[in-house]
């Protein structure tokens, strides 16, 4: 039995806004020198939702033990 917790993020963003936010996060990751994370968000436009979800989960796992980069995995409160 696993103690791993699962988080489900509910958003009021439409598909285009989600893709735009992920491109923004990818750009922020690249600017921070986190090429492994940035690559996870390349080509998300038009990708099946399950694949996007997997990439987001992978990025969050990669960032989990890197508190210095917590702002990349924290939900944004801005609208643009």
Alpha-carbon distance of 19 to 41, in angstroms, equals 9
Q: Domain residues of the chain, as ranges? A: 15-72
| Overall pTM > 0.75 | no
Query: What sign does the dihedral 55-72-9-42 (CA atoms) show?
Result: negative
Task: Give the per-residue pLDDT at 7.
Answer: 53
CA dihedral 24, 49, 75, 63 (to 10 degrees): -80
- Each of the 80 residues of the chain gets a pLDDT tens digit; together they read 455 555 555 567 888 988 998 999 899 899 989 899 899 999 999 999 999 999 999 988 888 887 677 667 655 544 44
């Amino acid at each position: 039995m696993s103690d791993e917790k699962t988080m489900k993020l509910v958003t009021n963003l439409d598909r285009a806004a989600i893709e735009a936010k992920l491109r923004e996060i990818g750009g922020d990751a690249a600017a921070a020198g986190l090429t492994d994370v940035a690559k996870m968000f390349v080509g998300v436009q038009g990708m099946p939702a399950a694949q996007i979800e997997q990439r987001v989960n992978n990025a969050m796992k990669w960032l989990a033990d890197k508190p210095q980069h917590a702002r990349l995995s924290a939900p944004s409160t801005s609208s643009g």
